[in-house]
């Protein structure tokens, strides 16, 4: 995994946190939502990650006129065989890069999101299993931008982690000029691993131990988001699952076979923020969900009890 990380970081400079988020999501079999203004390297990150793994990669550019069948695939009548045959859509790959997902119509969006959750595509009564690993890396522009459709809460909830790139620091930007003006740095990237190895790794992640105290802590965190007055929508049970799963992957990435409360705490903002809706009062006080969540994390006590 370290190789993947260094590989990706050759392209995306100065953003280790974003890269680690991406790897966590990959190992936790979740999906990644990258939200930021255009031009900060969202697509580059997805591509670099995809390129590092020797697997099938599809990229779907979401536009307002994209149809659901473009995503899932379509049955076409074959004149020669006189039969309908299935033409797989964009999702039939190990890594699907959904670029600017919020520019497509909600109908198309939901077609993708169904695939994300079910990991299968059903067209004309035939169900097609998607490959494993299967990961969707969706990028989106902030909702205020022109020509965007807001991703509904239910769909945001399906992404395990939302992260944003942010502008690079000056040094990283300078280095970028040097690297990116001569040619496409993606061309130099080599595969450092393959889908089989990723499958093995995800199996290992599944076996990471989560102590009861950590489980309690996770639940305490998510339920705290439901109780606070500053949020109208708290984290769903799915969020709890995602958080634990991400924490397991994070622990595995650190070389540990057990999860620490610190893992949960570190990941909580990335996993939970995009699922929360601030209350009217909180919005008026200009308190972002991020701040609210940080405060909650600071108040929920970490269980210091031993196991059992």
Give min distance, CB of 245 to another protein, in A: 5
- The only residue of 241, 279, 290, 295 in contact with another protein, by rule CB under 8 A: 241
CB of 206 to another protein, least distance (A): 4
Decide if residue 140 touches another protein (CB under 8 A).
no
Considering beta carbons, is residue 74 or 220 the nearer one to another protein?
220
SS3 letters for 166-186? CCCCHHHHHHHHHHHCCCCHH
- Is the distance from CB of 160 to CB of 267 less than 8 angstroms? no
Distances (CA, A) of 25 to 192, 210, 227, 245, 253: 18, 18, 27, 9, 11
Report the nearest approach of another protein to the CB of residue 170 (Å). Answer: 28
Count the neighbouring beta carbons within 10 Å of the beta carbon of residue 164.
18
- Cβ-in-10-Å burial (0-12, 13-18, 19+) of 105 comes to middle
- Provide the minimum distance between the beta carbon of 226 and another protein in the complex, in angstroms, as a whole number: 8
CB of 237 to another protein, least distance (A): 6
* Binder among 79, 81, 125, 306 for another protein (CB under 8 A): 306
* Binding-residue total with another protein (CB under 8 A): 36
Number of residues that make up the chain:
308
Largest CA distance in the chain: 69
> Taking the mean position of all CA atoms in its chain, how far away is CA 147?
23
Q: Judged by CB under 8 A, which stretch of 7-15, 77-85, 187-195, 235-243 contacts another protein? A: 235-243
**What is the β-pairing status of strands 126-129 and 120-123?**
antiparallel
| 106, 150 contact by CB (below 8 A) | no
State which of residues 178, 183, 284, 307 lies at the interface with another protein (CB under 8 A).
307
Select from 120-128, 185-193, 223-231, 273-281 the region that touches another protein (CB under 8 A). Answer: 223-231
d(CA 33, CA 177): 26
> Of 259, 276, 292, 296, which lies in the binding site for another protein, with binding defined by CB under 8 A?
259
Assess contact for 93 and 131: CB atoms under 8 A. yes
By C-beta, is 147 or 237 nearer to another protein? 237
Are 207 and 254 contacting, i.e. CB atoms less than 8 angstroms apart? no
| Minimum separation from the CB atom of position 258 to another protein (A) | 4
* Positions in 182-221 near another protein (CB under 8 A): 206, 209-211, 213-220
Q: Between 173 and 257, whose beta carbon lies closer to another protein?
A: 257
Q: Report the interface residues with another protein, using CB under 8 A.
A: 206, 209-211, 213-220, 223-224, 227, 237, 240-241, 244-245, 248, 257-262, 265, 300-307
């Amino acid at each position: 995994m370290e190789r993947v990380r260094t590989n990706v970081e050759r392209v995306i400079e100065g953003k280790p946190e974003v890269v680690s988020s991406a790897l966590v999501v990959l190992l936790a079999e979740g999906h990644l939502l990258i939200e930021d203004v255009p031009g900060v390297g969202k697509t580059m990150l997805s591509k670099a990650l995809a390129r590092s793994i020797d697997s099938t990669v599809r990229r779907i550019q979401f536009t307002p006129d994209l149809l659901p069948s473009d995503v899932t695939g379509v049955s076409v009548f074959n004149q020669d065989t006189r039969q309908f045959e299935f033409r797989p859509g964009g999702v039939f790959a190990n890594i699907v890069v959904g670029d600017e997902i919020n520019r497509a119509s909600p109908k198309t969006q939901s077609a993708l999101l169904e695939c994300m959750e079910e990991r299968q595509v059903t067209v004309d009564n035939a169900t097609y299993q998607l490959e494993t690993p299967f990961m969707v890396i969706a990028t989106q522009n902030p909702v205020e931008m022109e020509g965007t459709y807001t991703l509904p809460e239910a769909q945001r909830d399906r992404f395990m982690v939302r992260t944003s790139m942010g502008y690079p620091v000056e040094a990283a930007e300078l280095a970028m000029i040097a690297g990116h003006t001569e040619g496409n740095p993606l061309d130099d990237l080599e595969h450092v691993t393959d889908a089989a190895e990723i499958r093995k790794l995800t199996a290992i992640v599944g076996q990471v131990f989560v102590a009861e105290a950590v489980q309690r802590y996770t639940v305490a965190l998510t339920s705290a988001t439901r109780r606070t007055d500053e949020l109208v929508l708290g984290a769903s049970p799915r969020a709890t699952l995602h958080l634990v799963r991400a924490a397991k992957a994070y622990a595995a990435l650190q070389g540990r076979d057990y999860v620490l409360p610190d893992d949960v705490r570190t990941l909580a903002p990335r996993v939970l923020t995009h699922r929360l809706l601030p209350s009217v009062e909180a919005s008026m006080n200009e308190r972002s969900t991020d701040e609210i969540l940080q405060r909650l994390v600071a108040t929920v006590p970490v269980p210091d009890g031993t196991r059992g």
